[in-house]
């Protein structure tokens, strides 16, 4: 079944796609219209809006036979965007320009039992990086479950002191700019799409770190996300009880500690992960999977082991490494950059 979108959503998708293409390479209105299969008049309306908002600027002339056309490019001086990424153990804070280039970043430790001090540390680090620059907005990526709509963390497994905290409000009240909170897996999917050539068709984005995050990305003339909590789907009916209240959750077996654990833990890791992928395919119809997190350090071996389990079950998946390894600042900033689009 296809996804039905209204005119406002389609307009935003088209704006996003124009900016994505221009980020990749400055190009003319004519080239953009051809690539997006839009009429020149429809494309011109979008471009004029973006020029008026100073999100893009005119650049050099594009010569491709015939009359040279003026190219459009991202305005790197539009302002800076803040990015805050935190897990149960650590955080990265940084700033990017509108073109997505990381200007500066810093790292710190999360005090799981003291969220107030941890938030204060992240705020102070961001302020020290921004200095006198014009801060446009801030993207915050965090472990889920959470509510993007109101910027509040939910009941995050093994992170009890942080439950129900309004993270977005904390930072927006201090920084006086819009702050957007979202799952790290969602942020990864947003950021992966414009830079990863393999992500031009639907894909599942998975992050395996201290927990297990997931997101389904639909790519039909742009990107739309289907949020999902595959980490809290049951893979063992007789398994342990999870902090979320469910029994035998995938996250109990698919995480960084189990991946680097004993032989028995590793076997359970791959068995549980294979079950998750098969269930996800049967639910969402997606068999391309992009991985981030602990598995990137030896991805070929990881993919070989996982494929062996999948093959025994008669399943075939395309397993890909993320192009966003150690790019937490860009990933978090992307929430703000793409929201602005």
Q: Where are the domains of the chain?
A: 7-74, 80-187+327-340, 197-321
Whether 17 contacts 31, CB under 8 Å: no
What residues form DSSP beta bridges with 292? 207
CATH architecture of the domain with range 197-321: 2-Layer Sandwich (3.30)
Are 144 and 156 spatial neighbours (Cβ–Cβ below 8 Å)?
yes
Instruction: Using a pLDDT cut of 90, give the percent of the chain over it.
Output: 71
E strands within 18-89?
Answer: 27-28, 56-62, 69-74, 80-86
CATH assignment, 7-74: 1.10.10.10
User: Two tokens at 303?
Assistant: 């993919």
296: which DSSP letter? G
> % helix / strand / coil in the chain, to the nearest 5?
40, 25, 30
Residues 6+ apart with CB under 8 A from 140: 83, 84, 85, 86, 167, 168, 171, 179, 180, 181, 182, 332, 335
d(CA 53, CA 340): 11
End-to-end CA distance of the chain: 27
Dist CA 112 CA 99 (whole Å): 34
pLDDT for the residue numbered 1: 44
The predicted model scores a pTM of 0.81
Asked if the domains at 80-187+327-340 and 197-321 fall in one CATH topology, the answer is yes
Q: Which two tokens stand for residue 63?
A: 């010569």
Asked whether the predicted pLDDT for residue 3 surpasses 70, the reply is no
d(CA 80, CA 99): 10
Task: Strands of the chain (E only): list them.
Answer: 27-28, 56-62, 69-74, 80-86, 90-97, 102-109, 135-142, 146-147, 152-153, 178-183, 203-208, 212-218, 224-227, 288-293, 318-321
Q: Which residue has the higher pLDDT, 20 or 167?
A: 167
Give the strand pairing for 203-208 and 288-293: parallel
Residue-wise pLDDT for 187-228, tens only, equals: 999 899 888 889 989 999 999 988 899 999 998 767 888 878
Region 176-188 average pLDDT: 94
DSSP class of residue 166? Answer: B
pLDDT digits (tens, 9 = 90+) for 35-62: 888 998 999 999 999 999 999 999 876 6
Tell me what the mean pLDDT of segment 227-245 comes to.
90
The structural architecture, per CATH, of the domain 80-187+327-340 is 2-Layer Sandwich (3.30)
| pLDDT of the residue at 210 | 85
Q: Is the pLDDT of residue 166 over 90?
A: yes
DSSP 31: H
């Amino acid at each position: 079944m296809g996804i039905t979108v209204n005119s406002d959503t389609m307009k935003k998708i088209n704006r996003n796609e124009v900016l994505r293409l221009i980020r990749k390479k400055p190009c003319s209105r004519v080239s953009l219209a051809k690539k997006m299969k839009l009429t020149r008049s429809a494309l011109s309306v979008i471009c004029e809006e973006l020029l008026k908002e100073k999100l893009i600027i005119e650049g050099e002339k594009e010569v491709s036979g015939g009359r040279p056309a003026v190219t459009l490019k991202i305005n790197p001086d539009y302002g800076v965007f803040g990015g805050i990424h935190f897990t149960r153990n650590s955080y990265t804070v940084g700033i990017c320009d509108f073109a997505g280039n990381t200007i500066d970043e810093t790292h710190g430790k999360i005090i799981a039992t003291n969220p107030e001090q941890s938030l204060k540390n992240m705020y102070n680090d961001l302020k020290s990086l921004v200095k006198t620059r014009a801060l446009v907005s801030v993207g915050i990526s965090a472990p889920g479950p959470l509510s993007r709509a109101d910027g509040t963390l939910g009941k995050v497994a093994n992170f009890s002191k942080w439950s129900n905290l309004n993270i977005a409000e904390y930072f927006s009240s201090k920084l006086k700019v819009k702050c957007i909170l979202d799952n790290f897996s969602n942020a990864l999917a947003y950021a992966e799409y414009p830079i990863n050539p393999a992500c031009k068709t639907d894909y599942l984005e998975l992050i395996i770190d201290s927990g297990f995050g997931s997101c389904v990305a639909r790519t039909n003339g742009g990107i739309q996300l289907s949020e999902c909590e595959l980490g809290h789907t049951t893979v063992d009916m007789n398994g342990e009880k999870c902090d979320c209240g469910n029994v035998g959750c995938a996250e109990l077996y698919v995480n960084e500690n189990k991946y680097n654990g004993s032989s028995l833990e590793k076997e359970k890791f791959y068995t549980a992960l294979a079950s998750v992928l098969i269930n996800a395919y049967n639910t969402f119809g997606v068999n391309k999977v992009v991985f981030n997190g602990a598995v990137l350090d030896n991805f070929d071996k990881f993919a070989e082991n996982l494929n062996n389990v999948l093959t025994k079950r008669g399943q075939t998946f395309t397993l890909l490494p993320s192009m966003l390894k150690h790019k937490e600042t860009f990933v978090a900033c992307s929430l703000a950059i793409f929201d602005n689009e």
